[in-house]
Amino acid sequence: MIKPASPETTSTLSKKDFATDQEVRWCPGCGDYAILNAVQSVFPSLGVPKEKFVMVSGIGCSSRFPYYMNTYGFHTIHGRAPAVATGIKIANPDLDVWVITGDGDALSIGGNHLIHAMRRNIGIKILLFNNRIYGLTKGQYSPTSEEGKLTKSTPFGSLDRPLNPLSLALGSECTFVARSVDVYQQHLMQTLRQAAEHKGTAFVEIFQNCNIFNDGAFDNFTERAVRAEMNLELEHGKPLLFGAKKDRGLRWTGQSFEVVELGNGITEKDILVHNAHDPEPTFAFGLSRLTPPKAPMPIGVYRQVDAAPFEERVWGQIRHVKSQKGDGSLEKLLSAGDTWEVKE
């Protein structure tokens, strides 16, 4: 929840105010460091007093995050962070509640809480660090691992079909859905700022490299040599063009997106213009189906629509009932219904 900056508590905030004295215990080279850096860089500029931030996590490498943020923090249990965060946000809508989770935490053990948080539109920010592997338990395949993955628990290849986090979020009609990458620092910070400004549930998938158990999982679109050709940066109101020369784009076939090159009769007019505010999640869902190498990886904000957050509706209903019935009286409550008097 973004409020006008209160000069006493926020104007002097800097990145180091958000660092704790705890030693960061991620593996050297882990993508989590980059995400921590981006979050600590963005928070001071949000105009939110430090005491109003609450970082909530589940279990996994990413879920150690709250220990490294000098805010209120709650390292909960596996998969349950969205539910704990929901309780916090309803209890005090004034708090700025961020959930830090991973692909196993959010999509496997905690899948139910994730979809219900999103369909309710509770005003929390969910950062899903997707490294497509279980890191903390030392290298089993995750719900986002590609089929056939060779891991400790699948020596002959995994048989599970992977889950697409953005398709799931859009299917749950999440009101803010975005994607970024650990190593795209500027893009990541910009995406985090957009998420922070959103009222309602903001879901951000962040591709995060696990250099120990799944190194290079995203190289086919994040390597500098292919980055321009293999990423499509989504911008509301702009055509879905990509490539170093912006000479390729996405055309809507009526069923799905196809990648086309401009020229040979195809002009910019054939390229769909991205409308993040479309009330229907259909086109955004189409975008979420695109994956390299057949198509570029869309990054940025897929969807951002305005809808009253759940916690506002909870308290709105309470205010409404109070306005109808007046403040409840305990005395009247205890002696409600049929009563009778027993005399001495």
Partner 1 sequence: MEDKKTVSVPRERVDDVVVRFAGDSGDGMQLVGSQFSTTTAVLGNDLATYPDFPAEIRAPAGTLPGVSGYQIRFSSYDIHTPGSVADVLVAMNPAALKMNLIDLKKGGTLIVNSDAFTTRNLERVGYSSNPLEDHTLDGYRLVKVPITDLTRKALESSSIPSKEKDRCKNFFALGITYWLYNRSTDVTEKWIKDKFKAKPDLVEANLLALKGGIEYSRAVELFQSTYVVPPAKMPPGKYRSISGNTAVALGFITAAQRAGLTLFQGSYPITPASDILHELSRYKHFGVVTFQAEDEIAAITSVIGASFAGCLGITTTSGPGMALKGEAMGLAVMTELPLVIVDIQRGGPSTGLPTKTEQADLLMALFGRHAESPLPVVAAATAGDCFWMALEASRIAIEHMTPVILLTDGYIANGSEPFLIPAVEDLPVLKPRFATSANGAGFQPYVRDERTLAREWAVPGTPGLEHRIGGLEKADITGNVSYDPLNHEHMVHTRAEKVARIANDLPPLEIYGPDSGELLVVGWGGTYGAIHGAVRRAVDKKLSVAQVHLRHLNPMPNDLGDILKRYRKVLVPELNTGQLSLLLRAKYLVDVIGYNKVQGRPFGTEEILTVIESHLEANKS
Element (H, E) at 197: helix 185-197
Residue with tokens 């109070």: 322
Nearest CA to 31 among 57, 61, 69, 54? 61
Question: Which CB, 25 or 138, lies closer to partner 1?
Answer: 25
If one asks whether residue 7 binds partner 1 (CB under 8 A), the answer comes out as no
| Residue of 50, 199, 227, 246 interacting with partner 1 (CB under 8 A) | 50
If one asks whether residue 49 binds partner 1 (CB under 8 A), the answer comes out as yes
Phi-psi region of 231 (alpha: psi -120 to 50; beta: other; left: phi over 0): beta
CB neighbours (10 Å) of residue 317? Answer: 10
Min dist CB 149 to partner 1, Å, is: 28
Q: Which residues pair with 166 in a beta bridge?
A: none
Min dist CB 332 to partner 1, Å, is: 10
| Residue of 3, 11, 14, 22 interacting with partner 1 (CB under 8 A) | 22
| Residue of 32, 113, 144, 295 interacting with partner 1 (CB under 8 A) | 113
Ramachandran angles phi, psi of 239, nearest 5°: -65, 150
> What is residue 274's three-state secondary structure?
coil
If one asks whether residue 330 binds partner 1 (CB under 8 A), the answer comes out as yes
Contact code string over 285-324 relative to partner 1, x by CB under 8 A: -----------------------------x--xx-xxx-x
Q: What one-character DSSP code corresponds to residue 106?
A: I
Contacts of 293 (CB under 8 A, 6+ apart): 220, 230
Q: What is the 3-state secondary structure (H, E, C) of 213-247?
A: CCCCCCHHHHCHHHHHHHEEEECCCCECEECCCCC
Min dist CB 34 to partner 1, Å, is: 21
Min dist CB 150 to partner 1, Å, is: 31
Contact code string over 69-108 relative to partner 1, x by CB under 8 A: xxxxxxxxx--x--xxxxxxxxxx-xx-------------
Element (H, E) at 8: helix 7-10
Instruction: Give yes or no for a contact between 62 and 105, defined as CB atoms under 8 angstroms apart.
Output: yes
Min dist CB 84 to partner 1, Å, is: 4
If one asks whether residue 334 binds partner 1 (CB under 8 A), the answer comes out as yes
Contacting range for partner 1; rule: CB under 8 A; set: 51-59, 181-189, 207-215, 290-298? 51-59
Question: Which CB, 113 or 303, lies closer to partner 1?
Answer: 113
Alpha helices for 121-180 (secondary structure H) = 165-171
Min dist CB 97 to partner 1, Å, is: 9
Residues in contact with partner 1 by the rule CB under 8 A: 9, 20, 22, 49-52, 54-57, 59, 66-67, 69-77, 80, 83-92, 94-95, 112-113, 116, 314, 317-318, 320-322, 324-328, 330-331, 333-344
